[in-house]
Amino acid sequence: MRRANVLSGAALAVFGLLMLIFVIPAQIDQGPPGMMSPRLVPSLMMGLTTVLAVLLCATNLRSVEDDDGPISRAELLALGKFGVLFAVAYAGYALIGPLAAGVVILLGGLLMLGERRPLYLVLLPVVVLGGTYLLFYRLLGTPIL
């Protein structure tokens, strides 16, 4: 965890400095004179984040604790797969429609996670999509799309 703390502290400190120096001045106007600046609270919070991030980094650099990585490769891979799945689903939504996006998330999700049994690959999307249709369009009487 020590290495992860140092890295996350450093990343947050850089993020905080970038926000303070570039993003906040560019994205928030000073506001009319005589009123409290709209930048005040965002700047205060980013300043606090930066100081604490530097503190996190510094204390962990001195620490002699164990150095187990908190994130496994499989977890990062799963996060990446989720990214691909949602990207394909969005493409399906934009090119075909919401039903395609739903099918991609359900069927693609099953395939991505290792499900290969045809019955489940067919049944689960049908049941979930059908159930959603029944819930919103029939039971609640409110189309969601």
Interface ranges with another protein (CB under 8 A) = 1, 4-5, 8, 12, 23-24, 27-29, 31-32, 35-36, 38-39, 41-42, 45-46, 48-49, 52-53, 55-56, 59, 63-65, 70-72, 74-79, 81-83, 85-86, 89-90, 93, 101-102, 105-110, 113-115, 120, 124, 128, 132, 135, 140-142, 144
Taking the complex as a whole, the smallest distance from the CB of residue 115 to another protein amounts, in Å, to 5
Q: What is the Cα–Cα distance from 141 to 104, expressed in whole angstroms?
A: 25
CB atoms within 10 A of CB 15: 15
- Cα-to-chain-centroid distance, residue 144: 24
Question: At 130, which amino acid appears?
Answer: G
Question: Which residue pairs, CB below 8 angstroms and at least 24 apart, start in 70-75?
Answer: 70/1, 70/4, 71/4
Taking the complex as a whole, the smallest distance from the CB of residue 129 to another protein amounts, in Å, to 8
Q: What is the Cα–Cα distance from 9 to 62, expressed in whole angstroms?
A: 13
31 vs 96, beta carbon nearer another protein = 31
Taking the complex as a whole, the smallest distance from the CB of residue 45 to another protein amounts, in Å, to 4
23 vs 134, beta carbon nearer another protein = 23
